[in-house]
Structure 1
Amino acid sequence: MALTSQISAYDAKWPDMFLSEKCRIEEAFGSELVQIHHVGSTAVPRLAAKPEIDLLVEVREHRDETRVANFMKSIGYVRGKDLSPDHHFYRRDVNGVRTHKVHVCPSGHWQISRMLRFRDLLRADANLRKRYEDLKLQLEAENEHGIKEYLALKAPFIDAVVGPEPKDKQ
C-alpha cells in the first residue's frame, strides 16, 4: 500500500516551501502565535524524505478553534484527529498527494521539544541521518499497510534517539 507520498532525495527548495507556507498559515493563529518551526525530514538538509512540508505551530494556547479551522480550510487544509491531547493536526493534499502537515501545540507541550530535538540531532549527525534515511527507505520498500504501519515502525528509532513519549502526556 502506498504512503501519503513517495520518499525522494533531499530538495534544496524545501526550506523555501516552508517559508512560503509559514506566511500563508500564520494569520490563522493571530495573537496566540508564538512561533512556526520547520520540522520533519524536509527540515533536515541531505536527508531523503516524503516531500511533505511539516510545520510546527507553537501557540500560547488553543483559542477560537472554529476560526482557526475555518481559516485553514479556506486555504486547503483538512483538520485531522488530534495526534495527542492538545496536539492538533491539519493536512493539505494537492491532486491526491500530501504536500503539507501542520502540527499545532501550545507552548510547553512535550511534542514541541521532541520534534525540535530530533530535527536538530539529525541535522548535526551525518551517521544518525544516514541510519534514519536507510530505515525510512527500507520501511517504504517493505510497506504493506500504508502510513500507519510506516509511522509505527519508525517510532522505535525515534524513541531510541530522543527518548520515549512521556507516560503522562500533556
Structure 2
Amino acid sequence: MREIKVVPYKTEWQNQYEIEKRLLEAIFGAEILSIHHIGSTSVPGLAAKPIIDILVEVKQISLIHTYNNEMVKMGYECKGENGIEGRRYFQKGGEDRTHHVHMYEQGHPEIGRHLRFRDYLRKHADVAWEYARLKQELAKKYQFNPEAYVERKTSFIRNVDEMAFENDDVPFISKQNRVQ
C-alpha cells in the first residue's frame, strides 16, 4: 500500500531532475523538443512528496511507445495515457515512487498548464506556502489513500490554474489556448 508523505523541500531534488533529464535525452534524443522539471519538487522551498515530476515535450507522441523497452531498462513502468488523452506516462520506483515522466506532443494544452502552475507558485510564495500547508494536512488525513489525497487538492490546483491564466507575470501561453 502506497503511503503519502509530504516532506520539507530538499535542494537535491534539482540534481535528481538533472540526472534523469540526461538519461531521458539519451533515450529519446532528437524526438525531444524540451524537458521541464514540474510539480512541487520544482518549486524552491515548497514541501512536497519526494517524487520528481518531469514534463517532456516531444515531436510525435505516436512514436513514444517504440521507446518503452529502453524506459523499462531504466526502471520505469510504462502506463500509456493513464487517464489523460494525448499523454504518455511513466513512473519509476514502484510503491516508493521516485520519478514521474509526463510526455506530450508539442502544442498539447497540458504543457502550458503545468508550466504556468509551477511558475505561478515560484513567483507567489504566499500561495506556495498555502499549497504546502494543504498538502501536509491532506497527507496526514489520507496517508494511505492516494486517490482521496489527490482529489482533495483538485479545487486548490484549479484555483491556482485560474490565477495563473489571469496573471500577466506568468505569460507562458496565450489565454486562447486555455484548458477548460
1 or 2, which has the higher helix percentage?
Answer: 2
Residue 81 to residue 143, structure 1, CA distance change in 2 (3 Å)? farther
1:70: which partner in 2?
A: 69
Once the two structures are overlaid, the 10-residue window that deviates more, 80-89 or 14-23, is 80-89
Aligned to 2:172: none
Q: Which amino acid in the other structure matches residue 89 of structure 1?
A: Y
- Paired residue for 2:153? 154
Structure 1 residues 154 and 41: CA distance shift in structure 2, 3 A: same
Q: 2:179 aligns with which of 160, 166, 170?
A: 166
Residue in 2 that maps onto 1:134: 133
**Paired position in structure 1 for 2:173:** none
Alpha-carbon offset, residue 166 of structure 1: 3.3
Is 1:106 matched with 2:119?
no
SS in 2 for 1:51: coil
The answer for the alignment partner of 2:175 in structure 1 is none
Shift of 1:144: 6.1
Once the two structures are superposed, what CA deviation does each residue of 1:70-115 show, in whole Å capped at 9, x if it has no partner?
Answer: 1111100001241311111100006x41100000001111111011
Name the aligned partner's letter for residue 166 of structure 1: V
Query: Are residue 24 (structure 1) and residue 23 (structure 2) matched?
Result: yes
Unmatched tracts of structure 2, length 5 or more: 166-177
How many angstroms does 1:122 deviate by? 0.6
For the residue of structure 1 that corresponds to 2:69, the secondary structure is: helix
Query: Is the contact between residue 32 and residue 63 of structure 1 (CA under 8 Å) also seen in structure 2?
Result: no
Identity of aligned residues (%): 35
TM-score, length-normalised on structure 2? 0.85
Deviation at 1:43, TM superposition (A): 0.1
Q: Report how many aligned residue pairs link the two structures.
A: 165
CA shift in 2, pair 1:136/1:98, >3 Å: same
1:100-158 C-alpha deviation (Å, 9 max, x unpaired): 00000011111110110010011111110111001101111111662221111111101
Q: Indicate conservation of the 8 Å contact 2:64/2:88, yes or no.
A: no
Aligned ranges 1:3-152 → 2 under 5 Å? 3=3, 5-82=4-81, 83-93=83-93, 96-143=95-142, 146-152=145-151
CA distance in 2, matches of 1:104, 1:72: 13
CA shift for structure 1 position 67: 2.4
The one-letter amino acid of 1:76's match is G
CA-atom RMSD in angstroms: 1.9
Distance 1:77-1:128 versus aligned 2 partners, 3 A rule: same
CA–CA distance in 2 between the matches of 1:14 and 1:144? 22
> CA–CA distance in 2 between the matches of 1:149 and 1:81?
23
CA distance in 2, matches of 1:28, 1:152: 33
CA distance in 2, matches of 1:10, 1:22: 20
